[in-house]
Each structure stands twice: as structure tokens, then as C-alpha cells.
A and B are shown apart, each in its own frame.
Chain A
Amino acid sequence: MTGKATAGWRPLADRLINYGLKLGADEIEIAFSQSREFNVDVRLGQVENLVEADALYCSVRLFKDKRAVSFSSSDLQVSTLQQLLRNALKRAELTNPDEFSGLPAPSLFKIDFNSLKLHDAEIYRLKPKDQVKLALETERLALKDKRITNSLGASFTAYEMKTLLVNSLGFAGEYPQTYFSLSLGLQAGSGDNLVEDYWFSSRRFLSELARPEEVAQKAVERTVRQLHPRKIKTQKVPVVFEPLMTSWLLGFLFSCVSGTAVYQKASFLAGRLGEKIAGENITVVDDGLLPGKLGSRPFDAEGVPTQRTMVIEKGVLKNFLCNTYAARKLNLKPTGNGDGYGVVPNNFYLEPGPYRPEEIIRSVKKACT
């Protein structure tokens, strides 16, 4: 990565914290992120777009007399950040005190991220022309299939981000991460029978990314299988969900076990910890510590260490996912899912069962997938 590493931002973070405390803030949290992206889109054998960029960002939360205010900026001039800090303190006077607000307890802080495998140094060796080649090759392989009538394009992205988080209660942590993705969208058929679909692979390590052959084949399969659909009658039948659709459904479950939705009483699961809410075969986990996975991180946006949290165990609702604020509201412990004011999943997944997909499909006489 060009420019200074996030560690270079530490003196600025300390300076801003001291400035804020001197002006009367009780607690301050500052995050710096520095990111770099390379993206290429190809379509019909030609490079269509090429993007290369780096970005800096600073975000700050502060608390005064239990009143919460925040600001962020991509303009990192000290004078700008100090002005924003003064504005924030002024706004705090018009904000209501909230006994649940504030930074997490310092006793929670601990950092261990070397085992997480979030960063692939291969990103420094990757040449633009290799990245272009991966995208071109993926599309080329798919277009060999005669049933494919048009391409929505193939893309390759390489992304690196370094995060530094410092707070006035003594937390300081930083970690780097990388992300690579290869994707392809296709169309088949025409007119009223025009269909489209896509496939992608995204990984933290380049060596683990799906090969162009695999992405192309999956994208073709998923597109052509939609050709000539039959219209079905309205009916009640068993439904089999493929993994991508199951994870879409899990998104809804997440929004119901998020501590924010629970304390807001916007979730039907509020107040039901310990109850059986699903079948024995349903176990759902959030795990921020899985090595190499996209949702892993050593600590959340508030500096709370991430962990493995059992959400639903054999159908029984075990835990809600909480940031510091939701945890205080619900009298629970934060689970390392904080994202400033909100709650986000880390790696949120349904534990696999004993069956292979073919066995599941074979078990159904008549159904929709």
C-alpha cells in the first residue's frame, strides 16, 4: 500500500482525543481507515472500465454527560477535524442524555488477530494485466457456450483496507485486510424469453478464489436453467432452498436477532431467549473468528473483541447479537457485532446438516426450488 500505514495516524488520533477531552468530552473514539481498490470490468472481450484508487476516512464518536454525537470526514486536515470536533460538542448540548450510551468497558479489550488470516500479501505482487486476464478469461469461457446470447460483463476486484481504532479508555488496535472477487453476469434467450443470472467468488486470499472455469461454468448453468420456464399454479408445496437463497433468508433472521431490533421491540423474537423457536435441525452461529472468512475481524467497530456466539442451538434461541448500546439496554453482554450505532453480522451461518443436496431433492415428491 502506498502512503503511510494506519500506524502513521496514531499521533493524529491521540492529538484529537486530547483536544476533545480538553474541550470537555468525557469519552472519545476515533477510527481511521485507509483503503485501496483495483477494479476491472470487461465485456465482450474488451476492457470496459479500469479503476484504481485509494481513500482515507476518519470517523469519530464522542460522549459528553451521556449525550452521544458523531462525525466523519474524508478531509483529514487537522483544522477540519478539530472544527468537526468543536461542532460535535456544541451539538451534544442539544442532544438528550441517555444512560445507556458510552464506550464499552475497558475490561473487554484484548486483541489477537494473527490467527485470523485476513490479509494476503499477494495483493502487492498482483499486476494489473494479470487481473484483466482473469476477468477476460472468465467471460471468454462462458461465451463459448452457444446458449449464451449476451454478456453483462465480468469483473475482477482487489481491495485492501487498514483499520486503526483508538479510544480514550485506553483501547488501541489495528489490522489489515484484503479481499478479492471475480464475477460474471450473462444473458440467454431473447424477447419475452430473455433471462439473466450471475455467479461470483469472493475470498480474502487470492489462491482461494475460484478459477475462471468454475465461475464461468456456474454462471452459464444458472442462466440457461431459467430458459423456457413453466408457469405453475398457486399451490402449497414443499420448497427446497439452494444455499444462496438460504443465506438470503438468514438475512431476515439476522435482523430479528440483532440487539437493536430486540430492544426496539421491532423483532418477534424479543423476550423469547431460551424458547424453542425452530426445529431441532436448526443451529445458527455468528463467528467473527473464523480464519480467512470475509466476516472475520479481531474486534468490532467499538473495540469489543469478536467471538463465536451461538444464536440458535438445536432450535432454541440462545443469544441476541449486540453492540455495546443494545447490550446495556437488554442487560446482556456485547458480542463483538458493533458497527458504531448499529449491529452487523460477522460470519452468520446455518450449521450444515447430515444430508447432501441430491438427497434433499430426492426426498421431495413435488416441490419448488
Chain B
Amino acid sequence: MMDQKNFDWEGKTGLDLNQAKKILNLALSTGGDFADFFFEYRLSRSILMEEDLIKETSENISLGLGIRVIKKDRTGYAYTSEFSLDKIKSAALTAAAICQSGSVNRLPSRLRHLHLKKNVFTGRKPATLAALDRKIDLVKKAYHQALKYDPLIKKVQVVYGESIQEVWIVNSEGLSVKDTRPMTKLIAMAIAEKNGRLETGFYGGGGRIGLDYFADKLTAEEIGREAAREACLLLEATEAPAGEFPVVLAPGHSGVLVHEAVGHLLEADFIRKKTSVFSNSLGKKVASELINIYDDPTIPGFRGSYNVDDEGHVPEKTLLIDRGRVVDVLTDRLSARLLKKKENGHGRRQDYTCWPLPRMSNTYISSGEHSAEEIIRSVKKGLYVSRLSGGQVEDSGHFTFSITLGYLIEDGHLTRPVSQATLIGHSLDILKKVEMVGGDLDFGLQTGTCGKEGQEIPVSDGCPTLKIKSMTIGGTK
């Protein structure tokens, strides 16, 4: 029923290409410019360990289809988890209700099947095909490693998750494409306690990888140990200062700032609606010359990567900011048409219940020339930000981030650890204030998820060490 090599879409849906074509013609019958199907089958499994027990395992199947009709900038959408012909036809007509008039387009007589040449999946085989006891073994290894790291560790939780998503996209331009997308992750959370104070550490890894990744790239033991190490380190952190200081962002984890404070504002729907503070910035300089920002869905093994986007477009590595100048935005089909720009394969959706939106994949600032040491040495008094947690950003560019862990910089050296501070700023402002860029590009944990308009999708982000001339820190001292 599952796990077969070539997913049997025809068998599962009872539809052949010819019938799919007929139904898309029905979807276009009210005058739509474009229509597409998104069939999805997703098998997800998880394992939870806490209190020394493998407490629960779960398995989920999500199966359904979304059908979309576009007329100019308007979208009609319907979805169903039932695959009867009547149900699918009725969904097509529901989506078609977005238009009432106009000349009727029809599908080309021959459909073109797109064969994907590259595969971002790097594993020997998808983890969903491996035996359960191997995964339980990984979970236990991470768990016990965290627990024995230090007597201060009072509690550990480890979660393993895997999924395999099968998609079949057919559109009214005659394109048909199928893809298989495996994903795996292993995360550990450790709580350390000292004198009544509790701190939580977190670490994990994964991506479009197989179980071999946890032998070659990042071991379960390392994941457990790092979570525990962070929890213990946080116990030593003191209150952060408040005010305006030079800020040095650590490589890797600080990528979330690039994602939130720049990436979102370059998503083409916000640009075309002119709600993004960057809407009129195309071709203009918005950042320091030192800044180059890319979004690359083609990085092998990465969590944000895909072979084809959720509209059937093969993605490209996209240069968004070139030496401080905005040179491109992240487009899906609709926004590319409306902005008269090239599609760059960033139309993504959470699942069949959602229509595609312009989204990020793996977003990063590329490496510069300085060493991390030089950058830190250049700061007399400031803050080094190691780990950021939740943040929020508006289309207007205002953002706040919580600093989970940082260090004071005093006379060019990292001194005491601090936590419980907030980083406050505006995208336009900090981009201009970047003074130094390190040569040490790194990516954050391959466990991240990005939410937009209620749709959650896997992403990753990265950056090298960065020095920002001055930022507002909301602290307590």
C-alpha cells in the first residue's frame, strides 16, 4: 500500500491522464486563464522518547487533491480527500466559480510529462523504508547521551520524525510532473536545573536525507550532547544589558534573521501588493555593499530543497541581493505573471488544502572576507548573539527577536554569557549597518519550519559571522 518505488497515482486516484485533462477543461469552462491539480500522498511517522521510555509512536497518512483556477489576480480553490470522479468534478466546478465570464481556454491536445533530472535527496534510501528498530536506536542514543552529559540535566525529550511526500501536478498548459520527497529529522531537548532555575537546550538535524546521515554527517550522540551542553550553558547566563550596541551575529543560527527580516520582504506577493517595504526597491541599493543574499532550493540534502516546486516549476538558485542591491524577488507563477518577471520556482504549499505562495527554501548571506576573530576583536563593547529563538517581522520591516544565548563582548573578547534579551530593529536599517562579513558561512539546524498565512513548510537558513554597527537590545540591566 505504501513505500513502493513508483507511486501508483493512477491506481490511487482512479484517474488517467486523459480524465485529468477532461476535468481541467471543466475547471476552465467558466473563463479561467489557468487551472491546475495538486495530488498529494504523504506518509509521516514519529517516535517520542521521554522519562526513559519510548512513549509513543505514530503514523499519519494525508491523501487528497487541490484544484485551482486563476483568472488574472484572482484564485478559486477547492480541495477534497475523496477521489470519486463526482467529487473531483465538483471540486473543479467550485474552484471555477472564481470567474463568471470570458473566453474559454482549453488544454493542449498533448500533455508534456516533465522528467526531473536532479534529485536533492542524498540518502541511500528514504528513511521510511528502514526498519523501526533502527530509528528507535537513534532516539535512544541521543536520549542517553544528553542525560549523561551532566548531573544537572534533569529531563530529556527526543523526537524522531520522517515523512515521504508523493506529488502529482497537472496543469492546463499541458504539464504533468511527479515527484517523491523524503524528509527526516531527529531533535533533542534537554532541561538542566540548578538552584531552582530551569533552562532548556535544543539541538537537532535532518533534511532530505536517509538514516545514513546520522552515521556520516551528524550523529545521534552529537545531537543529544549539544542539546544538553546548551541547557547547562544557559544556566550560567546572566541578564543582558539594554540599549544600543554594536552586535556581532554568530554564523549559522543567525540565519533566521536573514530569513525573517529580509527573505519574507522579497517574496513577490508582498511586492506585487506593495505591502513590503521593499516593493519599490528592485534595482535599488538597500544594504551594505558587503551583502549578497541567495535563496537556493537546489542544495543537496537540505531541508528547504526540492526538485520541482508545488506548481511544477524546476527551481533555480536565486540571487536576491547583489552587493547591497535588490536584483530579484521570490516568485510563484501568479506573482511572476503579474510582475512580468521570470518564474524562479518558489511556489510552495503546505499540503493539498493550500494554494501555492511565493516562499523561501534555503536562504543565506554568502561569505565575506573577514575571520570571526577579526570581527569580534573590532568591538570594544557590544553583544555577540549565538542563538536566536522566535521572532516576528511585519511587511513594514519592523522586527523583534528573542536572544536565547549571547555573550558580552568586552575589549574584543567574548566574556560572560547572557540570555533573556530582545533584538529590536528595522530591516532597512540593519542591512545598511552591516560593517563586516565573515568568511565562515554556516547553516542553522536542519529542523526549521516557516509559517506564512497559516501554511507551514520546511526551510533552512544560513549566514556567516556578521557585524552590525548598532542595534537596539531590550535587556534588563
Interface residues of chain A, those whose CB is within 8 Å of chain B, are 43, 46-57, 68-76, 79-80, 83-84, 87-88, 91, 94-96, 98, 101, 128, 150, 152, 187, 191-192, 194-196, 234, 264-266, 268, 341
Contact = CB atoms under 8 A, between A and B. Distances in A.
Contacts of B50: 264
Contacts of A68: 55-56
B414 interface: no
Contacts of A56: 81-82
Nearest to B352: A74
Nearest to B428: A192
Interface stretch (B168-176, B292-300, B373-381, B392-400): B392-400
Contacts of B78: 51-53
Contacts of B76: 49-51
Question: Closest 5 interchain pairs by CB?
Answer: A194-B396, A96-B53, A75-B63, A73-B61, A234-B242
A47 B61 contact: no
B64 interface: yes
Interface in B236-260: 242-243
Interface in B274-323: 274-275, 277
A72 B136 contact: no
B114 interface: no
A50 B61 contact: no
B397 A341 contact: no
Given A72-B59, A265-B193, 4 more contacts: A50-B76, A73-B61, A73-B62, A150-B273
Interface in B59-92: 59-64, 73-82, 91
Given A55-B81, A265-B154, A187 B59 contact: no
Given A94-B132, A266-B198, A191 B57 contact: no
Given A56-B82, A196-B394, A196-B395, A83 B1 contact: yes
10 contacts: A46-B74, A69-B56, A72-B61, A75-B63, A96-B53, A150-B274, A196-B275, A234-B475, A264-B191, A266-B198
Contacts of B468: none
Given A74-B62, A84-B59, A43 B77 contact: no
A153 B55 CA distance: 44
Contact of B98 (A47, A87, A98, A264): A47
Contacts of A191: 277, 428
A83 B397 CA distance: 49
Contact of A150 (B79, B193, B275, B355): B275
Contacts of B75: 48-50
Nearest to B191: A266
Nearest to A341: B56
Interface centre among A54, A57, A98 (most CB of B within 10 A): A54
B430 to A, nearest CB: 12
B73 A48 contact: yes
Nearest to B133: A94
A296 to B, nearest CB: 23
Nearest to B276: A194
B144 interface: no
B59 to A, nearest CB: 4
Contacts, number: 146
B132 to A, nearest CB: 6
Contacts of B136: 94
Contacts of B428: 191-192
A96 B55 contact: yes
Contacts of B367: none
B54 A96 contact: yes
Interface centre among B50, B54, B78, B355 (most CB of A within 10 A): B54
A80 B41 CA distance: 13
B74 A91 contact: no
B30 interface: no
Contact of A266 (B1, B81, B155): B155
Contacts of A49: 74-77, 355
Interface of B: 1, 50, 52-64, 73-82, 91, 94, 97-98, 132-133, 136, 154-155, 157, 191, 193, 198, 200, 242-243, 273-275, 277, 353, 355, 394-398, 426, 428-429, 474-475
Given A43-B273, A56-B81, A194-B396, A266 B200 contact: yes
Nearest to B61: A73
A91 B133 CA distance: 9
A72 B355 CA distance: 23
A46 B72 CA distance: 11
B186 to A, nearest CB: 17
Contacts of A341: 56
Contacts of A264: 50, 155, 157, 191
A80 B61 contact: yes
Given A46-B73, A48-B73, A95 B79 contact: no
A72 B191 CA distance: 30
Contacts of A72: 58-61
Contact of A51 (B58, B77, B81): B77
Contacts of A95: 54-57
Contacts of A83: 1
Contacts of B398: 195
B396 A187 contact: yes
Given A95-B54, A234-B243, A264-B50, A53 B59 contact: no
Given A53-B79, A128-B97, A191-B277, A74 B61 contact: yes
B191 A265 contact: yes
Contacts of B397: 192, 194
Contacts of A268: 198
Contacts of A71: 58-61
A57 B98 CA distance: 27
A229 to B, nearest CB: 10
A52 B94 contact: yes
A73 B428 CA distance: 45
A84 B57 CA distance: 12
A141 to B, nearest CB: 19
Nearest to A128: B97
Given A50-B77, A83-B1, A194-B277, A73 B60 contact: yes
Nearest to A90: B132
Nearest to A193: B396
A98 B55 contact: yes
Contact of A91 (B79, B132, B274, B353): B132
Contacts of B64: 55, 74
A74 B64 CA distance: 8
A155 to B, nearest CB: 10
A87 B58 CA distance: 10
B71 to A, nearest CB: 10
A52 B77 CA distance: 7
Contacts of B242: 234
A48 B57 contact: no
Nearest to B474: A234
Contacts of B56: 68-70, 95, 341
Interface centre among B61, B97, B136, B397 (most CB of A within 10 A): B61
